[in-house]
Amino acid sequence: MARFIESEHPRDKDGKFTDKNKTSSSAIDLIEPLDEKSYYEGIKMEYENSTNQDLLNFIYQQLESPNPKARFTISEANKKQIEDIKKLLGIDVTGFKNVIDHSAIMHIKNRHGINGKADKSMSNPKDLARIGYILENYDNLDILYKKNKPYYAYDLLNKNGNPSPIIKYEKRINGYYIISQAIVDSINKKLIIKSAFKNNKK
């Protein structure tokens, strides 16, 4: 599926995506509406086909036989992540790895799993096993705030001994998939997933 770049498709007066590159002899027909619903159906299909089987096996392993020291490398930080995190925090994460560990899986299970205290949005382990797709294709990235203050991971210290800042990713997929991740600026070069959940915000 071709990558949809929203800046290349300004919305018309009704809020529908358009093709600004279309040419026509009629000024009225210069902007042709695109099918936004079909676009997001395509995104949903990409998402559902992105399950990382190795990560899924790791998740099941941790749920059935927990190992507090276990970690799984999802991917290497991609170009978009590197650029956005540098702009946001001033930290160069070139060569860093996106990692999820036992602690995050247990947190997600307890907060957002089948018997989640917050919601049940991550009841299906396959949704967590698709987290790599979100990291590769997120719509927005920002600092995570709690009570109007930047949130930090006090259990993950950076090379200066300070707590690591936490950022938030969002991707629209029939609602939104949201990830929080600690940016641990240390010699270990790890970007540690802290949580993930979905909501129905449109």
HSE of 106 in the Cβ direction (CA atoms, 13 Å)? 12
Instruction: Give the pLDDT confidence score for residue 200 in this predicted structure.
Output: 81
**d(Cα 114, Cα 72) in Å, to the nearest integer?**
22
Question: Looking at the domain assignment, is residue 114 inside a domain?
Answer: yes
Question: Looking at the domain assignment, is residue 31 inside a domain?
Answer: no
pLDDT in tens, 142-172: 999 999 999 999 999 999 999 999 999 999 9
What are the start-end ranges of the E strands in 44-161?
71-76, 97-101, 140-143, 145-146, 149-150, 152-157
Question: Looking at the domain assignment, is residue 147 inside a domain?
Answer: yes
Number of domains in the chain: 1
Question: Looking at the domain assignment, is residue 23 inside a domain?
Answer: no
Residue with tokens 């203050």: 149
Question: Looking at the domain assignment, is residue 148 inside a domain?
Answer: yes
Question: Looking at the domain assignment, is residue 74 inside a domain?
Answer: yes
Task: Sort strands 145-146 and 140-143 into parallel, antiparallel or unpaired.
Answer: unpaired
**Pair 57, 128: CB distance under 8 Å:** no
Determine the structural domain holding residue 76 and report its residue range. 52-199
Task: Read off φ and ψ for residue 111, nearest 5 degrees.
Answer: -90, -35
pLDDT in tens, 54-85: 999 999 999 999 999 999 999 999 999 999 99
Question: Looking at the domain assignment, is residue 75 inside a domain?
Answer: yes
What are the start-end ranges of the E strands in 21-81?
71-76
- For the chain, give percent helix, strand, coil, nearest 5: 30, 30, 40
pLDDT at 50 over 70: yes
Q: Which amino acid is at 164?
A: S
Question: Looking at the domain assignment, is residue 42 inside a domain?
Answer: no
Q: Which amino acid is at 10?
A: P
The structure's pTM equals: 0.81
Q: At what angle do helices 53-64 and 102-112 cross, to 10 degrees?
A: 80
